[in-house]
Amino acid sequence: MIIYFPGCTTNQRFPELRKRVERILRKMEVDYILFDEVCCGSILRNTGYREEFEENRKRFLEKFPEGDMIITGCPGCLSTFREEFPELPEVKHISEFLSEKLPEMKEIKLKVAYHDPCHLGRGLGIYDAPREVLRKCGVEVVEMERNRELSWCCGGGGGVRLAYPELSRKLSEIRMEEAKKAGASVLVTSCPFCLRNLNDVNSEVEVKDLIEIVEEALDDRK
């Protein structure tokens, strides 16, 4: 059985995104259960609350259901699971899961840039899977000047959005300018923190999660 863990930010700030993932899973006839009762503790870990993290970890493990594989769309949760929860089954990012399972779809006329979320790219080395998903979705992917290992942080991580929102905001504005410069009409990311931070910027470039592109492409197929 597959466990889908949306993560708190997706669950509570982007409930529509969670629903999209669930619709895609059903459409692909994937048997899954959803778990969203306890936070993974990623924020505790990044801001220095180690004791609190351990406390939360215990509670998380008490409640977490049995399963064979976890999938999540949140790179923060993903790296926390991979680095701090050795007792859990294999954890995959939704882009890794979809890059293998998705069919090839027909080309659509859409130019997107892909923003590598820090914890997914540099953190876990997942650069190709989301790009492969976009390719299968038939969209044209353009690269921004700073991409992959040199990708520019959206400013949403490490507790900076909470502690120094003005810095966080500036970093996201810079990223949106780079997307525009690359000639993209949509900036696609694969992290709810990036989505939230980049979305706050007023720009003619639209910001979307990878999942939105996937669902639109799947719908288009019919």
Partner 1 sequence: MIGNELEKILKEEDKIRTRMKSFFLVLQRLKDEMSDEQREMVEKLKEKRKEAIENVEELLKRAEENFISSGCQVFHAKNGKEALNYIFSEIEDEEMVVKAKSNVLREIKLDEKAREKGIEVIPTDVGDRIVEILNEDLTHPTGPAAHLSAEHIASRLSEVFNTKIPPTPEAIANFIRDDTMKYIMKAKVGISGANAFASEGIISLVHSEGNISLVTRIPEKHIAVLGIDRIVRSAEDTVTFAKVQSLYALGKPITAYVDLISGPSKTGDIEKKIVKGMYGPREMHVIFLDNGRKKLMKRFPELARCIGCGACVLVCPAANVAASLFGHSGHRSARGIAYSYFIEGLESAISRGLFLCTTCHSCSEICPMGIELPKIMKEIRREAVSNNLRIDAHERVVKLILEEGSPYPKKS
Q: Which residues bind partner 1 (CB under 8 A)?
A: 8-9, 11-13, 37-39, 41, 43-52, 55-56, 59, 118-119, 122-123, 145-146, 149-153, 155-160, 162-164, 166-168, 170-171, 174
- Cβ proximity to partner 1, 77 vs 210, nearer residue: 77
Name the minimum Å distance from CB 10 to partner 1. 11
- Cβ proximity to partner 1, 137 vs 168, nearer residue: 168
Q: What is the rounded distance in angstroms from the CA atom of residue 77 to the CA atom of residue 41?
A: 8
**Long-range contacts made by residues 87-95, C-beta under 8 angstroms, separation at least 24?**
87/61, 88/64, 89/3, 93/120, 93/124, 93/126, 93/129, 93/190, 94/21, 94/190, 94/210, 94/211, 95/120, 95/126, 95/129, 95/130, 95/132, 95/133, 95/190, 95/210
Give the up-direction half-sphere exposure of residue 106: CA atoms within 13 A in the CB hemisphere: 4
Query: How far lies 105's CA from each of 26, 93, 129, 138, 178, in Å?
Result: 18, 21, 16, 6, 28
Written as six digits, the tokens of 132 are: 């492969």
Q: What is the rounded distance in angstroms from the CA atom of residue 71 to the CA atom of residue 49?
A: 25
Name the minimum Å distance from CB 135 to partner 1. 24
- Cβ proximity to partner 1, 81 vs 152, nearer residue: 152
Name the minimum Å distance from CB 170 to partner 1. 5
- Cβ proximity to partner 1, 151 vs 189, nearer residue: 151
Name the minimum Å distance from CB 195 to partner 1. 15
DSSP readout, 121-149? TTTT---HHHHHHHHHTTPEEE--SS-GG
- Cβ proximity to partner 1, 108 vs 163, nearer residue: 163
- Cβ proximity to partner 1, 37 vs 100, nearer residue: 37
Name the minimum Å distance from CB 67 to partner 1. 19
Name the minimum Å distance from CB 200 to partner 1. 15
Q: Biggest alpha carbon distance in the chain?
A: 51
